[in-house]
Structure 1
């Protein structure tokens, strides 16, 4: 295989899965890791990807880059639907009386599936810092919906800041569902914004059981601010089971991996 053809396939792979490792590419194309690194350097120079420690990510993905909530809502829709269905089953099977929902597109999908689940009047308490989630859930009279206060961040329409963190720290919910921009074997869970990270970290500290909703494109990704170590999680719900370093790190940390089936 010529270098140009291999590099095109490498670029396609990065675009498809979101992050690739040097080792994975070397095995995939039966070349040395040095050859892969030269390919990645050439592709980075051409603007086709961005090199990171141990591999590469799409060119537009930087540690501080962040898309709007509206953009996230239309990305990986089938995967997010499946993740939300599996997460809703966790709520039902755990018989949780209180649930903390982080802001984000995956947690908003979960919120939709929690509506209408308590018709018997045995109210489920749902606490969230997300305006869209609170507005959606408020239409269900059998849910006890509580909205956390704080400064509203326009990009995510979520309450953030010291007041939000202080309010979270007074809670002890049965379950917390958090979203993340990246899940990395060494760096853990991260997000580009420090205030969002502060709230997410408080969610992780306060809940009896912490579950991260993570589609496969987030595996191996590091963004600017860490908000949780892997050993602070009880489980992740994902559309595709992780492999390699991420899978090994989750297993070592004792994190349950719930793989949601996609259509």
Structure 2
């Protein structure tokens, strides 16, 4: 295979998955890691990829990039629904206990499924004990506010327009005063060394408070978030109990998750 042809294939792989490691590319094309690095250097010079530690990412994948919640809601919907279905199975159907649902498009899918399940259960069995649901997300609160069987607690603060989530010191302080049974957390990146991260410092502060407050931490992250690093770290892998995703993590990330004792559920 000519170098130009191989490089075109590398660009296609990185465009499709968002990232590729040097070792994976070397194995895939049966070439040395030094050859892969030369290919990536040539592709970076052409503006086709951006090199990072251990591999390369799409050229538009910067640490501060963040799309609005309206845009993200329409992306990767089948994967997000599968992840949400796996997360829903962790919430007791008898309505007991308390859960925290972080802002995000995948967590919104969880809220949608939770609302549908609660409505169906109430229709069949009549009134059930209310499940306490805590959130700082306006879209999630709007979806759950009128559902029977759900006692909704909305954490206040300054609303960040891009994510429609409350942020700021008042939100952080409110999060520190609660102790939910389980928190379903969204993330913009989950990385073997850097842990969980998000582009905005105020969002990161709220997420960090959620992680420290809940008894059990379940992260919902589709495969585009795996091996990604964004600007601000808000948790280490050791802070997590479970990761629910839609594809098997890369070897480096899988090893780091196993070392941290994180259960990985591939939906």
TM-score for the superposition, normalised by structure 2: 0.95
Structure 2: segments with no counterpart, 5+ residues: none
Equivalent residues of 1:96, 1:175 under 8 A apart: no
Paired residues of 1:181 and 1:191 also in contact (CA < 8 A): yes
Three-state SS of the structure 2 residue aligned to 1:90 is: coil
Task: Report how many residues are paired.
Answer: 260
Aligned position for 1:174: 181
The CA deviation at 1:75 is: 1.1
Match runs of 1:27-66 below 5 Å: 27-66=27-66
Native 8 Å contact 2:94 2:128 kept in 1: no
CA offsets 1:46-68 (integer angstroms, 9 cap, x no match): 22111111111111110011111
Write out aligned runs for 1:170-209 (5 A): 170-209=177-216
Q: Is 1:163 paired with 2:163?
A: no
Deviation of residue 31 (structure 1)?
1.1
Cα pair 1:103 1:128 within 8 Å, conserved: yes
User: Relative to structure 1, is the Cα distance of residues 251 and 25 closer, same or farther in structure 2, using a 3 angstrom cutoff?
Assistant: same
SS at match of 1:159: strand
Give 2:159's match in structure 1, choosing from 152, 176, 194.
152
Distance, in Å, in 1 between the alignment partners of 2:129 and 2:184 is 21
Offset, 1:243: 2.5
Alpha-carbon distance in structure 1 between the residues aligned to 2:101 and 2:57: 29
Q: Which runs of 5+ in 1 are unaligned?
A: none
Q: CA deviation at 1:93?
A: 7.1
Q: Shift of residue 139 of structure 1? A: 2.2
Equivalent runs, 1:1-263 vs 2, <5 Å: 1-92=1-92, 97-115=97-115, 116-117=117-118, 119=122, 120-260=127-267
Instruction: List per-residue Cα deviations over 1:192-236 (Å, max 9, x = no partner).
Output: 000000000000000000000011111111111000000100001
- Contact 2:218/2:240 (8 A) holds in 1: yes
Runs of 4+ in structure 1 over 6 Å off: none
**Structure 1 residues 94, 187: closer, same or farther in 2, change over 3 A?**
farther
Contact kept in structure 2, 1:185 and 1:249, CA below 8 Å: yes
- Residues 1:24 and 1:93: Cα distance change in structure 2 (over 3 Å): farther
Distance 1:106 1:78 in 2: 10
Cα separation, 1, equivalents of 2:41 and 2:133:
48
Q: SS in structure 1 opposite 2:90?
A: helix
- RMSD across aligned positions (CA): 1.3
- Give the SS at the match of 2:75: coil
Secondary structure of 1:242 counterpart = coil
2:95·2:130 contact (CA, 8 Å) conserved in 1? no
> TM (normalized to structure 1)?
0.96
